Structure 1
Amino acid sequence: MIDRQSADHLKSRGYLVASFAALDRSELLDAFRTFIHRSRDYQLHFLQKRFGYAYDGFSFYGQTDSSHQAEDDLISTFVLSEFYPADRYPEEFLGFLKGSWKEVVKTVRSLETALLTQLDIPGLLDFYHGNAGHMVSNNYYPPLQQFTSPAAGNTRLSAHPDASLFTVFPFGIDEELELQVTGEDGESVWQSVDAADRVLVYPGYLMEMWTHGAIKAMNHRVRLSDNRAAERFTFSFFSLPFPLREFKMPGRGLMTSEAYFEAYGALF
């Protein structure tokens, strides 16, 4: 249940751990794990450049032209979305895309719609209904013992805000994710969130742009694991504009989806 108090919590703390239980991730985890263990030649058939919009496709550690991760981030990712037909993606994901994908997205949209209703930001709910679709970033962190050096800031995934309106973890998330929040004395501190069995949501750069910074994008990172032999899998859902859309961005006039992604990319 998302009420006014939940929306106020998101605004004041920069994130919300929802009261309802996390969804089952086993179907998507099995699909992604199978893809990760395919040959690199097979994986390269699905690079981002073979898609072309937003972040869809495969990115890997050491890649210099990924739009989704830094070269030294200790991670490989595959992004699926509503922006392309299911048959554009690897066969490993087709069962999920033609099965529980719609139910997971329905849950995410329900949460986001309830939050936007309570936040009551002028024009934003209409924008969401008319223009927003969803992607999921499937994130694989190999064992740390495979690497000789960490990512920037002595991390597993370097600090950054997301491009999303909201980022949602419908399957929960472990405490290796750290959020940059404001401490009691106004200082910035890195904080883990206990959301292993709950749904976590925080705003991205699209929310910050729309509200002129009244609701800021959550800067976040992944710390180094205490277990250097452990793999890590996570799944984050982003709400993003569909391609080839034009909409009014408060204070900026008409903006296209593609121009928004250029503005986000200019942050880095």
Structure 2
Amino acid sequence: MKISKCVLAAALLSITGTATAQQHPWDAYDRITFTGDVIEANTNDLPGYNPETYGRFTATVYYEASSVNGELTNSPLRYDGIVKIVSWEVFHKTSGGPLVGGGYVNEDADQSYMIVDTSNGQSILWNHHASSDDSEVVFSAIDTPIVSTVNNIIKLHDGPIEARLSFDVLSRDRGIIGITDNVTVHRVDQDFDGVGLGDACEASIVGGTVSINGIETGVANSMASNGCSIMDQYAACHAEQGEGGMMFGSYRGPSYCEQQVAYTAYREGLIDYTEVRMLRLALMR
């Protein structure tokens, strides 16, 4: 479904929270915005538009990132049904005013997909399907890293990145090619712990095993459904005790809060009872 620039602008303001503080359903999606200079354009189906006047561009993709994980060594990696919204706009070379663009909301997510490929340089492709228009966005670079992994989750890089960006409305043979100079990524899961909205620990201690008072327990630092790892919960107990105490526990022995961490993790199915005992023994040392 194609939507007008006015409707799209209102929707994007709502999404980003500029127009309203109320949470929008699209807040659950990651988004990436590209800005840069147009180097080539095809808008022959739009009478009166002159690509020679095209200057700056902006393009944005909204996508469901919760399942975007894997090892880059296994690329190309394909993720089906995750591209939700794509939009683009081109601005006049001299005046800076808007010239041409469009926004598309996905009506059939099953036919959308994202591909991450690091076999020859690095590239990311988003293919978006709607009843009126199919669109494709490709972000690629040979020598500049644009994607990596954190905790086996695909991380798209942002900042002042110079790379190639193409935006094609496939069903209309319309599109632009540009060179980016800035990329902005909004990540729902900012600490890469696999939990997006509703993350109770927004800067999680992720991965590895649980270490208490310098003692390595061998118990996996598992992640609860609320976005807090076992180490996060111990750290929260330490914060309650104040800055002057030991990292976990104190000369008086472990606190009630610390003792409850293992039992809570057991009830949530994160550890078994043998691991409960391992954590308790480490606390008592």
TM-score (norm 2): 0.22
Larger radius of gyration: 2
Q: Which has the higher helix share?
A: 1
Higher RCO, 1 vs 2 (CA within 8 Å, ≥6 residues apart): 1
